[in-house]
Chains A and B, each alone.
Chain A
């Protein structure tokens, strides 16, 4: 191989960085959606959008298809795949790179309940203890009422066990979701680091903004005490808000009812 001095390194359209990541530029002009057998496909110019594993991406609803298409159409120059949240979720749901049955996914989510953020409180400082109680107690109560389960928490580092009945009831609730929705749910739980907050946000009890704030309670407290670092804190928080919002939307768009429910005619 010829000796290369750094000055002679060519910067081409598809640059391979030392990390090995390829930068792809927008290679298509038009983005359209089309319908085939009740499913929706995305077209980039004449070619149908495929998943990383080469399967044609088929979306169950128009809403989801439009949102995915929008992620592709808004790209300018280099494709920013990390911010194409719905595309990434749809790809994961289609390819299932981690092959799990819905029961296995539900079980994974249930496991997370053991180390749920909201079940671990600090012992001090007193102000933070109060803040956690004020912020988290209502959500815990809501989950208990909604699912008729008991949720315990601790201020030690030892995880309090999850009651068998709790496990059973929430497990059953989770398996009522289809595999696509469960992938969305897994993403929410992993992002928020909490099953309890995930349950609340999916049921539309908490807004995404609130759920993220509750998830990041201790960080936000520390930031308030010690100062904010915009390029770290804000970027992390915004990314979490975007990705959780996308995951919540993914679940709801997956199960949207497309028919209009007509009310009965008003009596004259």
Chain B
């Protein structure tokens, strides 16, 4: 399979995984198709503009793919997050009423 075609299909696959809505989904795929067509129809074996465009396509694919994988991993390893102030205070038996007045500093919750 020609490299350009493989990249093209991979990009479309990534876009499909993103679950986009119309019109953006259609506009984006139309734009990408147009760009690929523009740069793969040539009689010259080597054309700098086409090489550049292929690099940009690979870069776009890299961005989509790495973003997806990063988000997936981060979600997978996501912790509970920081405790709220209330929870932290409760750990040591304090109430969460943290205004500065001394009468609000209860030592027993």
| Interface pairs (6), CB distance under 8 Å | A3-B96, A62-B31, A231-B77, A239-B66, A245-B60, A246-B63
Bound CA–CA A241/B25 (angstroms): 24
**For window 28-61 of chain B, which residues contact chain A by CB distance below 8 Å?**
28, 31, 35, 38, 42-43, 49, 51-52, 55-56, 58-60
Please give the distance in Å from A209's CB to the nearest CB on chain B. Answer: 6
Kindly state whether residue B19 has any CB partner on chain A within 8 Å.
yes
* Cβ contact within 8 Å between B19 and A5: no
Cα separation A41 to B88 with both chains bound (whole Å): 45
Complex formed: what's the CA distance from A73 to B26 in Å? 12
Q: Does A98 sit at the interface, judged by CB under 8 A? A: no
Residue A204 is within 8 A (CB to CB) of chain B in the complex: yes
> How many residues on A have C-beta within 8 angstroms of the other chain's C-beta atoms?
48
Q: Answer whether residue B105 sits at the interface, using C-beta atoms and an 8 A cutoff.
A: no
Q: Interface size for chain B: under 10, 10 to 19, 20 to 34, or 35 or more residues?
A: 35 or more
What is the total of A-B residue contacts with beta carbons within 8 Å?
A: 125
Task: Contacts A70-B28, A231-B77, A235-B73 given; indicate if A242 touches B87 (C-beta within 8 A).
Answer: no
A32 at the binding interface (Cβ < 8 Å)? yes
Q: Are A19 and B31 in contact (CB under 8 A)?
A: no
Question: A63-B31, A231-B77 in contact; A4/B38 too (CB < 8 A)?
Answer: no
Q: How far is the CA of A235 from the CA of B85 in the complex (A)?
A: 28
Q: Does A214 contact B (CB under 8 A)?
A: no
Tell me if A92 counts as interface (CB < 8 A to partner B).
Answer: no
* Assembly CA distance A260 to B109 (angstroms): 72
Residue A158 interfacial (CB < 8 Å)? no
Contact with A along B79-109 (1 / 0, CB 8 A): 0011111111010000111010000000001
**Minimal beta-carbon separation of A4 from chain B (angstroms):** 5
Give A255 to B31 CA distance when docked, in angstroms: 16
With A74-B20, A238-B66 as contacts: A6 and B90 at CB distance below 8 Å:
yes
Judged by a CB distance under 8 angstroms, whether B23 is at the interface is yes
Q: Enumerate A1-57 residues with CB–CB distance to B below 8 Å.
A: 1-6, 9, 17-19, 30-33
CB distance from B102 to the nearest CB of A (A): 15
Contacts of B2 in A (CB 8 A): none
Asked if A145 is an interface residue, CB under 8 A from chain B, the answer is no
Contact (Cβ within 8 A) A74 B55:
no
A235 close to B62 (CB less than 8 A): no
